[in-house]
Structure 1
Amino acid sequence: MEIRLPYDKGCIEFTPPSGCNVKVLTPPSEDFKPEFSQEQIVRNAISNPIDSPPLSELAKDKKNIVIITSDHTRPIPSRITMPIILEEIKKTNPNAKPTLLISTGLHRVSTDEELMERHGQDVLDQVNVINHVATDLDNMVYLGVLPSGGELWINKLAVEADLLISEGFIEPHFFAGFSGGRKSILPGIASRKTVLYNHNSTFLSNPYARAGELERNPIHKDMVWAAKQAKLAFILNVAINGEKEVIHAVAGNPFAAHEQGCEFVKDLTGTEAIPADIVISTNGGYPLDQNVYQAVKGMTTAEMTAKPGSVIIMVSACKDGLGGRDFYHQLADFPSPQESMDLFMKTPEDQTPVDQWQSQILARILLKHKVIVVADESVASFVNEMHMEYAKTVEEAIEKAQQIKGRDASITVIPDGVGVIIK
């Protein structure tokens, strides 16, 4: 059995040791074949908005249109979606030059090269581009108190817009339920203070703060409230397959359209667990496997199907390094994950430090499982210092795992760890 795992912009192929009990966990989306081309799927969605007037009608006579879009860490197919959005706006507003607001959240800003790769010159010539900077308090506006009790501050460019729209993509999200929709506001263009409160340890430890869960998810509740306060008027969200191709799209009312998109993704990615002694997962390749920080997402999927005390093998290129120094120190500076977790749970909601949420989830996994990371050698020392173990190849990682769990250990492989909801 030869197995292919997405890795950076290519893949890794490996053959499990002979005699192993190996199962491959893939969602129904693996075999989903859309009826139309990627472009036509998007055009059909934007021409048939859900619970909303057409975008062209909303854009008529607007002087200050702001389009929120994802940063370099998200595989949104903007070369397909953005030209169609601009085309729709210019049907009734031919001289419009919208502002493209890059929703970086707490990530670094996107570089000119990354923006060019994402959008292309033709789109960039038609818009003004601004990277959101969550620490730039002079460019934040206060919009009230979130249901959780935190203050809502967001980018003033969005508040001053006379039409605020966003593009994004919907996939399972390991603590927000799903990506897309309201997430473009919080954490996308929110202040550092607001994001930190929303990502507090109490919320992260809530059993409903998990992939596929919205209704009872406290993090989602804050995000919806933030999007309403920001007056987000229209969204275009897509669903993509393992090849990063558009297979579905929704447009229109930010809440009704997002809900329908989430239902589609839930039906297409939900699958039963295949419990195993060793679980191999990925982050679906580039761009989400650029750093160790993001790799935690694929680990959470493995966690949902791993037997107690299993070994999780995380295959993620991490060529961009750690992804967060605070994330590193919150684990590496403590003798054990338990001591990190004890500190996280004592931290008041309004004092949440940067990256604690990611560190908290990783600590939770490490308290239950051994984690071996297959990645670029540049992160080897960081991985080891964060209470995980580095392996250069998948074969080496399996050998290490079998030394712990035995040669007859069962193995479950999840080729796309961020594209699956384990029921």
Structure 2
Amino acid sequence: MQLPLGTGTVEVSLPDCAVRTVELPGGETVDPAVAARAALDDPHGPALPSLVDPGDDVTVVVTDVTRATPDEVLVAAMLERLPDCNVSILVGLGLHRPMTESELRTALGEYATLATNHDPDEAVEVGTVRGVGSDRVPVRVHPLVAEADHVLSTGMVEPHQYAGFSGGSKTVVVGAGDGSLIGYTHGPDVLSHPDVRLGRVDGNPFRETVDRAGDAVGVEFCLNVTKGPDGFLGASAGRPRAVVADLAETAREALSVPLEDTFDAVVGGVGAPKDATLYQATRGATYLVLGEHNPVRSGGRVITPARLTEGAGEGTGERRFYERLRTATSAESLYEAMRAGYDPGAQRAFVVARALREADLWITNSEHPAVVEECLLHAAERVDDAVEPGSDVLVVPDALNTLLG
């Protein structure tokens, strides 16, 4: 069988095992450019041209290199509808590393010259929002967002460990935010809430806090897409909450697989761009183990082939993640220590620790096996080497876009 690895695939053969492969329902694919323009013709709420006057300052927040969003296509479709105004593009990095000039040109084409990498140290406060219970959370964003007459965004509505589905206001308030909102929403109290779950939007306190922050910032309009196993499934435009609800429903139909069984080993594919760093690649395992249905038997293992061209990762969050795992003596001690709190960005170490309490995590085919071994995980040269002969194995070719349960 073939599993994703970087921008290509890797051959996996498990002749001594009982293997079951997940097949997603999928759906009819669309041309994202055509779908984006159709969505703009029929938005949720006011049409984009009616929101903006000539001469206004408009900031479009786009996703970064960790998302496979067709940002050039989405930006082009929105700018076609705008009057003569002053447009800036802000790359929503959150606490990830800046994108290089080459990456910006690849992602944004002719619009790369309008782009600025977000710097969380430059964020300014625009207000506070209610978090869980009576908590008040400060909302700080980049000046290009805070000072704009209008804030627009692109996004990918895909399964997300915390938000249920990504996209909507999250591109702006997390991508263009600083450690205040990121630290709160990604903190142990929120992430351990039972309704903070992969695929869940309604009643999810992470998503609700992010949406309220979007209101405080003034995110008026977004243009998002969603995708399935064979390509893009649709686009939606307009008010962020409605866009996420719309595309999440489309995604669920294409990505949900009923499953009650458990297995000795689960092999989850990730591929580019997520498998460039250990920080992102571990999503494959945590999405599987901490989703609606954990398919791994007690004491089993989850195996993820990942190139890890950037090792653990180079951004602030990635470095914090790496240091937490590298200095931990066990998953249990790390989990207990992090329940008391941690710096923004380190949350992925907390979630990995939660998953490690359920199963062993393996990374194969990587360029940095020593980094993997430093971080409480196991490394192997090939997937075949990480699976014990005679195992019952579930293969999930697209672990980040599969909803089991």
TM-score category of the 2 structures, normalised to the smaller one = over 0.9
Unaligned regions of 5+ residues in structure 1, if any?
none
The match for 2:131 among 131, 134, 147 is 147
Deviations 1:200-227 (A, max 9, x none): 1111112221111122222111101100
Deviations 1:58-97 (A, max 9, x none): 22325101101001111001232221111122xxx1x334
Shift of 1:33: 2.1
**2:182 aligns to what?**
195
Deviations 1:277-324 (A, max 9, x none): 1100122x1111110001121102331221222111111211111022
Give the letter aligned to residue 3 of structure 2. L
Give the letter aligned to residue 6 of structure 1. P
Unaligned regions of 5+ residues in structure 2, if any?
none
C-alpha spacing 1:241/1:62, structure 2 compared with 1 (3 Å): farther
Superposed, 1:159-178 pairs within 5 Å as 159-178=146-165
Give the letter aligned to residue 22 of structure 1. V
Shift of 1:12: 0.9
The match for 1:420 among 379, 402, 405 is 402
Shift of 1:146: 3.4
**2:245 aligns to what?**
259
Superposed, 1:257-336 pairs within 5 Å as 257-273=243-259, 274-283=261-270, 285-303=271-289, 304-323=294-313, 324-336=318-330
The match for 2:13 among 12, 15, 33 is 15
2:64 paired with 1:71: yes
**2:332 aligns to what?**
338
Write the distance in 2 (CA, Å) between the matches of 1:132 and 1:9. Answer: 26
Query: SS state of the match for residue 408, structure 1?
Result: coil
C-alpha spacing 1:81/1:142, structure 2 compared with 1 (3 Å): closer
Give the letter aligned to residue 257 of structure 1. V
Larger displacement relative to structure 2 (74-83 or 167-176):
74-83
* Cα pair 2:72 2:107 within 8 Å, conserved: yes
Write the distance in 2 (CA, Å) between the matches of 1:238 and 1:309. Answer: 38
The match for 2:85 among 89, 93, 96 is 96
The match for 1:49 among 35, 43, 48 is 43
Query: SS state of the match for residue 188, structure 1?
Result: coil
CA RMSD of aligned residues (A): 1.6
Shift of 1:124: 2.9
Query: SS state of the match for residue 107, structure 1?
Result: coil
Structure 2-normalised TM-score? 0.93
* Cα pair 2:227 2:251 within 8 Å, conserved: no
Deviations 1:7-37 (A, max 9, x none): 111111222224x2111113212xx223x53
Give the letter aligned to residue 58 of structure 1. L
**1:360 aligns to what?**
350
Query: SS state of the match for residue 45, structure 1?
Result: helix
Write the distance in 2 (CA, Å) between the matches of 1:333 and 1:175. Answer: 25
Give the letter aligned to residue 10 of structure 1. G
2:77 paired with 1:84: yes
Give the letter aligned to residue 268 of structure 1. A
The match for 1:40 among 34, 43, 59 is 34
Query: SS state of the match for residue 41, structure 1?
Result: helix
* Cα pair 1:282 1:295 within 8 Å, conserved: no
Give the letter aligned to residue 111 of structure 2. V
**1:107 aligns to what?**
96
Deviations 1:326-350 (A, max 9, x none): 2122122121111111111123xxx
Give the letter aligned to residue 24 of structure 1. T
Shift of 1:353: 1.0
* Cα pair 2:53 2:85 within 8 Å, conserved: no
Write the distance in 1 (CA, Å) between the matches of 2:232 and 2:362. Answer: 32
Shift of 1:364: 0.9
Structure 1-normalised TM-score? 0.89
Write the distance in 2 (CA, Å) between the matches of 1:162 and 1:287. Answer: 33
Larger displacement relative to structure 2 (58-67 or 249-258):
58-67
Write the distance in 2 (CA, Å) between the matches of 1:130 and 1:113. Answer: 13
Shift of 1:384: 0.9
* Cα pair 1:280 1:302 within 8 Å, conserved: no
Write the distance in 2 (CA, Å) between the matches of 1:339 and 1:211. Answer: 25
Query: SS state of the match for residue 161, structure 1?
Result: coil
Write the distance in 2 (CA, Å) between the matches of 1:301 and 1:280. Answer: 12
**1:373 aligns to what?**
363
Percent identity of paired positions between Structure 1 and Structure 2: 25
2:81 paired with 1:124: no
Write the distance in 1 (CA, Å) between the matches of 2:359 and 2:281. Answer: 15
Give the letter aligned to residue 404 of structure 2. I
